[in-house]
Structure 1
């Protein structure tokens, strides 16, 4: 039986699958679509989301950590490729190889360690190499990449499955860095393939898919778009919404005279106002920054958050409702098709990614289309 006393978080696996297929359809001929399921599938539950993507044909998955990769391997079995985007810790190489995970390696020393340990254990393991094409985060520098290409023995012993890099400004289509990174990565791929012709190339994230076929290469790595986040900010969202979140109301109260609301007395409710206090606060991913800026949804309209968000509760001004609507209101939605993760992120001064990955674990989770 559904228990929504602590809030009801609904996750539409059918919508995630349809978003995946839409992204597949946008790729150039010969390109394949993977799926980024790191951070517990952006907070939505990796062991539920990944099988839904598998059923849609996905066979290349990307996680952030080795522990995530091991969980995913147990959930999906052996016929998928699982790439660990943040590499492998020193001393964990053997466990990583035995789990059949593909670590992303960023330095020559990491690559040497990986090759040596796999050789000692007689394991024919794959790895990925990441080059820094301009984001200045993770990846081999141009100098290190030159050294790798000059070290033919290491290069051919490494069993490199994929060369990848990451776009910094893909959600800004006109940003000149997109073209600069594309050309840098293209050159790196051509140079590596001159010696290792079977290496796969991967550059495009969710927004990168929408930059055009030049960016697609062999495997695209969408994450956020799978979960309903708009990959084209400023334009209509082509993706289906995936989540809805409903908070139960624990008290309704009439304000007979003007009164301060919440910690710090940052806002006042006018005399005659009606307020609803809902269970769910910043411990549950209702970010504190939404206080006085965000809203919920009830009876077909937006209901503003008033005062600061507390750890376990959020107060909404429901004065706009008539008596019958107010009496019938038992819960307030804070995410739905109308109140999207991108809009809520804007209220909090952040992005939809943070909204999804902040969702707490006190909610009852309902998976639709499983």
Structure 2
């Protein structure tokens, strides 16, 4: 994480959904907004003159959508993407009227009025969504902005070839709609040699040329690293902003953004044969010293992620199963009495990255971040 110290660089985010004070919380989640903005700048350098949006869905990948988007907006980002209408409404309240906010999943039937009231741009994924947005524009008596998403080969969201051809042949398809963006999404961008990347690029080229002239967007975080041919007019990074490696086969070009530390709530000495945790999944082969920390799967730490914590650079392996609210550590490698109640051990940070933790859990960094729960005391650096 980027360096920061002092109260002027430290801001606590306190809401009704989290403890009032740091002392009351079992664990502390630190989000470095300076590192986030540096990641944005690094991506901008790679993009040259191409515009760079910010994907802040899932509450800014679990790190606080308003805080993350506010920092990016201060850095010059003027286009944001969320997944759901509700996320867009909250973000509009936080950011004000200037930035463009697109709703990736489209607008649910009957919710078009709420989207218009919040000045949100629909990402239109089907002819049905297009018809509903067109009808809302007629009712509003003005043009409404939208992005048209085409399915270039991921088979998740967007109009397939047949629908694109149908609307291309309909002279009234875009009545009342200001097509501000034509977009698609890459399925295999984190595998640069995967043939799907080239196939999707070619299909996207074919489909977008059937649609009204507008800005064009294809590259996600990993797509930016596929090179200028994939950049078009607007890139849409998400994971890379938050420190997740967009080039998994190479060293991470991004700065880490999060640090997670949990408090020690008890220490003890165990004798040979002692059972540890639920099901006695671990049994001591000899004498050892253990510590219980205030973090568990209710906080979003996966039961599968049986790894380790760190204290002053010393690795402290997990013992037994992850519980709902606690984890037991082997602290035998530390000097006797060095770790006490109230001390903090690190789960995410310099000693273990988000991607490292994901590897231990058999998942991806996205899931690690978006699983982080509301019980942490959250601190924002360089905000």
> Into which bin does the TM-score normalised by the smaller protein fall?
over 0.9
Q: Does 1:231 align with 2:251?
A: no
Local SS of the residue matching 1:135: coil
Rounded to whole Å, the distance in 2 between the matches of 1:250 and 1:265 is 20
- Contact persistence 1:290–1:305 (CA under 8 A): no
| Equivalence map 1:240-319=2 (5 Å) | 240-291=255-306, 294-319=307-332
- Contact persistence 1:277–1:315 (CA under 8 A): yes
Q: CA deviation at 1:110?
A: 1.3
Q: Which residue of 1 aligns with 2:6?
A: none
Q: CA deviation at 1:69?
A: 0.5
Aligned match of 1:93 in 106, 112, 121? Answer: 112
Relative CO higher for 1 or 2, CA cutoff 8 Å, sep ≥ 6?
Answer: 2
- Contact persistence 2:56–2:80 (CA under 8 A): yes
Measured against aligned partners, the alpha-carbon deviations of 1:72-115 in whole angstroms (never above 9, x if no partner) come to 11111111100000000111111111211011111112101110
Q: Which residue of 2 aligns with 1:117?
A: 136
Rounded to whole Å, the distance in 2 between the matches of 1:267 and 1:226 is 38
| Equivalence map 1:150-165=2 (5 Å) | 150-165=169-184
Measured against aligned partners, the alpha-carbon deviations of 1:118-161 in whole angstroms (never above 9, x if no partner) come to 21221321011111000011111100000011112213543211
Q: Does 1:191 align with 2:226?
A: no
TM-score, scaled relative to structure 2: 0.92
Rounded to whole Å, the distance in 1 between the matches of 2:357 and 2:294 is 18
- Contact persistence 1:97–1:123 (CA under 8 A): no
Q: Which residue of 1 aligns with 2:37?
A: 17
Q: CA deviation at 1:5?
A: 3.7
Rounded to whole Å, the distance in 2 between the matches of 1:45 and 1:34 is 17
Rounded to whole Å, the distance in 2 between the matches of 1:10 and 1:230 is 19
- Contact persistence 2:219–2:237 (CA under 8 A): yes
Q: Which residue of 2 aligns with 1:134?
A: 153
Local SS of the residue matching 2:87: helix
Rounded to whole Å, the distance in 2 between the matches of 1:255 and 1:84 is 54
Structure 2 gaps of 5+ residues are: 1-20
Q: Which residue of 2 aligns with 1:323?
A: 336
Task: After superposing the two structures, state which structure 1 stretch, 230-239 or 294-303, moved more.
Answer: 294-303
RMSD of aligned residue pairs (Cα, Å):
1.4
Local SS of the residue matching 1:75: helix
Rounded to whole Å, the distance in 2 between the matches of 1:4 and 1:322 is 28
Rounded to whole Å, the distance in 2 between the matches of 1:328 and 1:38 is 37
Rounded to whole Å, the distance in 2 between the matches of 1:175 and 1:365 is 39
Structure 1 gaps of 5+ residues are: none
- Contact persistence 2:101–2:120 (CA under 8 A): yes
Q: CA deviation at 1:257?
A: 2.2
Count of residues in Structure 1 that have an aligned counterpart in Structure 2: 363
Rounded to whole Å, the distance in 1 between the matches of 2:299 and 2:341 is 25
Aligned match of 1:171 in 186, 190, 194? Answer: 190
Rounded to whole Å, the distance in 2 between the matches of 1:277 and 1:270 is 19
Measured against aligned partners, the alpha-carbon deviations of 1:197-228 in whole angstroms (never above 9, x if no partner) come to 3x111110000000000111111000000000
Closer/same/farther in 2, CA of residues 327 and 7 from structure 1, 3 Å limit: closer
Rounded to whole Å, the distance in 2 between the matches of 1:304 and 1:132 is 45
Aligned match of 2:124 in 98, 102, 105? Answer: 105
